[in-house]
Amino acid sequence: MNSLYADRIALIDTENAFKVGPLIVGLEKEGHEVIKLNLGEPDFNIPDFIKEE
C-alpha cells in the first residue's frame, strides 16, 4: 500500500517541527516567497499543483 506521505516525513519529529517557523521567517526576510505548510498552516485547502511538487 502506498503512503499518503513522503518517507522524509518521518524525519520531522515534534522538536524539529517547531524549528521550521524561524527558518521560514528568515527566507521571507531574504525576499523569498514561501508557501507555509508547517504546523497549523494553511487554513485553506492546498491546490493540487502544490501537492504534486
Q: C-alpha grid cell for residue 18?
A: 517547531
pLDDT in tens, 4-51: 667 777 777 777 778 888 888 999 999 998 887 777 666 677 778 777
The b-or-e profile of 18-48 (16+ CB within 10 A means b, else e) is eeeeeebeeeeeeeeeeeeeeeeeeeeeeee
Residue 12's SS3 state is coil
- Farthest-apart Cα atoms in the chain, separation: 41
Q: C-alpha grid cell for residue 2?
A: 502506498
pLDDT of residue 35: 80
For the full predicted model, state whether its pTM sits above 0.85. Answer: no
